[in-house]
Copies of this chain bind each other. A is one copy, B any other.
Amino acid sequence: MTKKIYTSEDVARLAGVSQATVSRVFAGGTAVSEKKRKKVLEAAAKLNYALNAHARSLTTRRTRIIGIVMRNIGNPFYSAVLEIFYDRLSVLGYHILFINSENEEVKESEIRQLIEYNVEGVIITDALLSSPASEKFNRSDIAVILFNRYSAPSKGSAVFCDNYMAAKQIATYLLETGHRKFAFISGPSTTSTTLDRLKGFRERLQQKGVHDLIIEAGDYTYENGFRSAQELVTRHSDIDCMFCGNDIIALGAMDGLRIFGYHVPDDISIVGFDNIRMSAWPSYSLTTWEQPLEEMVDATVKILMEEIKNKAAKPKVKLMKGKMIIRNSVKSRK
């Protein structure tokens, strides 16, 4: 025996008005006399009426749901991102359908779910969309935006940090502080973030006449940073600085080096990327690049909202700057 769940019909009957009036009271917008409004609200309160969002979205064709596809929630950078997205979207009256993807490219089944639930927009963090996938969203009139990634320039909207310029500045900083032998511990070589950071870093070094850059590939994990740093110093004892693809790698690298008896920054300088909370902790005090998280999220939400309002809008790509955060993991070697 399942419980009776009251509908606007029930409320209407109890309040002595039509269902249409009840709908008007709850949907807002249209005028209802003060007298009836009160009656309706009283009746609704008595029955503990809650409107049915699914029925509503069936007629309005608006679900007020945003799909958010994430990877690496374990990375504090992304859990912070999720928190801020929730904050901004809930203020706008949107709800979040959460998907934790595991792949570089969003899966077919995940896309289908988002379409079936008729989300108004999709935010994809740290993952990509294949062309057919992007086409599917497009056909279903669902706005999509990549966060912290981009694909082809014309393919869709994206908000991300100018990793290329950032990496250049980091290289400059390491050169200016007198470093000679450079290493880069990268994330997966398929990601645009990794590639751009590597590109900027390498180019600036080459501009300054440094053509020797040792690269250790891996993924964006602590364990990877740990092992990679150890391997680097084992194979190249003259390395005096490491630029890490992100902060988690950098923290792992610092610990890996310490285990081997190296001192950071006295023996080796380390630079990260992201400025996650932990990089400020005194045990690490990591020099890193701060991505302007809140502004990135704000920009993402703004673009997405525009696209939802105007489906035909042209894709927008927004490049953010960020800034260097200097702490104590780099030592001047002049």
A255-279 contacts to B, CB under 8 A, are 255, 258-259, 277-278
Tell me whether A53 and B87 are in contact in the complex, defined as CB-CB below 8 angstroms, given that A74-B277, A283-B284 are known contacts: no
Tell me whether A50 and B5 are in contact in the complex, defined as CB-CB below 8 angstroms, given that A76-B74, A80-B74 are known contacts: no
Most buried by B among A98, A136, A254, A282: A98
A81-96 contacts to B, CB under 8 A, are 82-83, 86-87, 90, 95-96
Kindly state whether residue A184 has any CB partner on chain B within 8 Å. no
**Cα(A90)–Cα(B255), bound, Å:** 35
Complex interface: chain B residues within 8 A of A63 (CB)? 54
Kindly state whether residue A207 has any CB partner on chain B within 8 Å. no
Tally of A interface residues using CB under 8 Å: 53
Kindly state whether residue A140 has any CB partner on chain B within 8 Å. yes
A73-127 contacts to B, CB under 8 A, are 73-74, 76, 79-80, 82-83, 86-87, 90, 95-100, 112-113, 115-118
Tell me if A50 and B115 are in contact (CB < 8 A).
Answer: yes
Tell me if A54 and B58 are in contact (CB < 8 A).
Answer: yes
Closest B residue to A81 by beta carbon equals B73
Tell me if B2 and A311 are in contact (CB < 8 A).
Answer: yes
Kindly state whether residue A51 has any CB partner on chain B within 8 Å. yes
Complex interface: chain B residues within 8 A of A95 (CB)? 97, 113, 117
Closest B residue to A138 by beta carbon equals B3
Kindly state whether residue A52 has any CB partner on chain B within 8 Å. yes
Tell me if A258 and B283 are in contact (CB < 8 A).
Answer: yes
Complex interface: chain B residues within 8 A of A222 (CB)? 277, 281
Closest B residue to A52 by beta carbon equals B118
Tell me if B96 and A53 are in contact (CB < 8 A).
Answer: no
Kindly state whether residue A206 has any CB partner on chain B within 8 Å. no
Tell me whether A86 and B98 are in contact in the complex, defined as CB-CB below 8 angstroms, given that A118-B53, A283-B255 are known contacts: yes
Complex interface: chain B residues within 8 A of A98 (CB)? 68, 82, 86, 96-98
**Cα(A175)–Cα(B53), bound, Å:** 56
Complex interface: chain B residues within 8 A of A57 (CB)? 54
**Cα(A283)–Cα(B115), bound, Å:** 45
Complex interface: chain B residues within 8 A of A79 (CB)? 73-74, 76, 79
Q: List 19 extra interface pairs beyond A74-B277, A96-B99, A255-B283, CB under 8 A.
A: A3-B141, A48-B140, A52-B58, A52-B118, A53-B54, A54-B55, A54-B57, A68-B98, A74-B76, A74-B83, A76-B76, A76-B79, A82-B98, A90-B100, A96-B98, A97-B97, A97-B98, A222-B277, A283-B283
